[in-house]
Structures are given as structure tokens and as C-alpha cells.
A and B are shown apart, each in its own frame.
Chain A
């Protein structure tokens, strides 16, 4: 069964460093998303991406965040200058028209 894959599963980075989280969505899906879950809190929407551009973003998705689909298969989330409060589980998801979102297993980001 096709699945969304995310790498790495765990990333530790120093405050102020740039980090790139990678995702390979399901191949025939058209919509791509990033969500995050801070420990003990709810899963929050960050951004959705369609047709090579952002279709919606939340208030959390400020200028330090960016997304890219560099090669037609990967979908990346870049955090330019990480802060302690960026520590969270980041989930990538993808969907087709008229389907639910399929989620990856997540990348646990720890900022120290």
C-alpha cells in the first residue's frame, strides 16, 4: 500500500540553525501539507501546497518557514533559524481530490 514517507525520523538541531524536513508524498497525490504537534498539544495545520504554490498557510507559518517541491517527488519544509519553541513532531500529509489526507510517520524535531 502506498504511504507517505518522512526523513529523518528524529532531528536534533541547535537553536538558530536551519533545518530541512523531507517528505515523499504518495505519487499520484496533488495536495501536500505540513502539520505539527508540540508535545502534549493538538495537531496544528501549518501549510498546504498545490500546483507548486502555497494554497493556504496558518498564522504559525511565518517568514522563517518555507516549503518546496524541488523535484516532483519530494516535499520539504525548511525552518531558517530554529527556536526552542519549534521543537515538535512535524507531520507531512498528502491527498488527491475527494480523498482524505494520508499522513507520514512524522519527524521529531528537537531544538537545543
Chain B
């Protein structure tokens, strides 16, 4: 079984400041990791994913995340945020052995990023 913890429910930040949204996971099997973003009144959109290879993955809109197996973390970062980044961000995991077979996603509780001018 897997679980995901997003340590911060809300992160307020000023425009052009850097931001890090934290995600830790627990799993007895190897996992694939995802970050989804939900803009107000919209669905979930994939921001980036880690399947294998380089532990630093780059996604859309200038976001990146680093997979740290020893710390079981997959923190999301952006060096300079914009007002338009205001949204809810969800970290999710899937058992890697299930990914080819339509495996479910286990989500964290979400982090609300609020970018202020």
C-alpha cells in the first residue's frame, strides 16, 4: 500500500519569489511519482512525472521536482512564481508494477499555492 503526505496545506508567496511544495510518500514497492495542478474551477492537469532515470524532472510552466529515494520525497520547486501559478497542487504515487496496467493514483491532500503581487 502507498500513502502520500503533503506537509503544507497552504503556501502564500510573493510574485517572483522561489517556492517549494513538499511531498513525502510511503510505499512497500517501487513507485512512480506525479504532480498534478488544479486551477480554480478546472480539472487536474499533469505538471510532471518521475518514472525512472534522472532524479530531477522538469515539467510545464517552469516547475521541476526532485526524486529522493532515501528520503522518500518528491518536492516540487519553481525558482520564480507568477500570479498565474495560483492553484492547488497535488502529489500522487502509483505502484510502478501497476503503471502498465492502469494502476490507480494515490493522492496527497493538496497544497494551495497563493501568489500575491
- A: residues with CB less than 8 A from B are 4, 6, 30-31, 33, 35, 41-45, 48, 50, 55-56, 58, 91, 93, 95, 97-98, 100-106
Contact with A along B100-112 (1 / 0, CB 8 A): 1111111111100
Q: Which of chain A's residues has its CB closest to B107's CB? A: A43
Q: Given the complex, which residues of A lie within 8 Å of B34, measured CB to CB?
A: 100
Say which one of B22-30, B40-48, B70-78 lies at the interface with A. B40-48
A43 with B43: CB separation less than 8 A: no
Q: Is the CB of A103 within 8 A of B43?
A: yes
Are the CB atoms of B105 and A101 closer together than 8 Å? Answer: yes
What is the bound-complex CA distance between A86 and B59, given in angstroms? 34
**Docked-complex contact B109 and A103, CB < 8 angstroms:** no
Provide the residues of chain A in CB contact with B108, threshold 8 Å. Answer: 42
Interface contact A56-B107, CB-CB below 8 Å: no
* Contact indicator A45/B106 (Cβ below 8 Å): yes
Contact for A43 among B42, B49, B90, B100, CB less than 8 A: B90
Any A CB within 8 A of the CB of B99: yes
Q: Are A95 and B102 in contact (CB under 8 A)?
A: yes
Q: A100-B46, A103-B36, A104-B43 are in contact. Are A44 and B107 (CB under 8 A)?
A: yes
A30 vs B46: C-alpha distance when bound (angstroms): 19
- A42-B108, A55-B102 given; name 13 further pairs at CB < 8 Å: A33-B104, A42-B109, A42-B110, A43-B107, A43-B110, A44-B107, A45-B106, A50-B102, A55-B101, A97-B100, A100-B46, A103-B36, A103-B43
Least CB separation from B98: chain A residue: A56
On whether the beta carbons of B102 and A41 are closer than 8 Å, the reply is no
Residues on B with beta carbons closer than 8 Å to the beta carbon of A103 = 36, 43-45
The list of the 3 closest CB pairs from A to B, nearest first, reads A31-B102, A105-B43, A103-B44
Cα A103 to Cα B46 in complex, Å, equals 9
Q: Which residues of B contact A33 (CB under 8 A)?
A: 102, 104
> Is A41 within 8 A of B109, CB to CB?
yes
| Contact (A43, B44) CB under 8 Å given A100-B34, A100-B49 | yes
**Between-chain CB contacts (< 8 Å), 26 pairs:** A4-B43, A33-B102, A33-B104, A35-B107, A42-B90, A42-B109, A43-B92, A43-B107, A43-B110, A44-B107, A45-B104, A45-B105, A48-B102, A55-B101, A58-B104, A97-B100, A98-B99, A98-B100, A100-B34, A100-B46, A100-B49, A101-B105, A102-B46, A103-B45, A104-B43, A105-B42
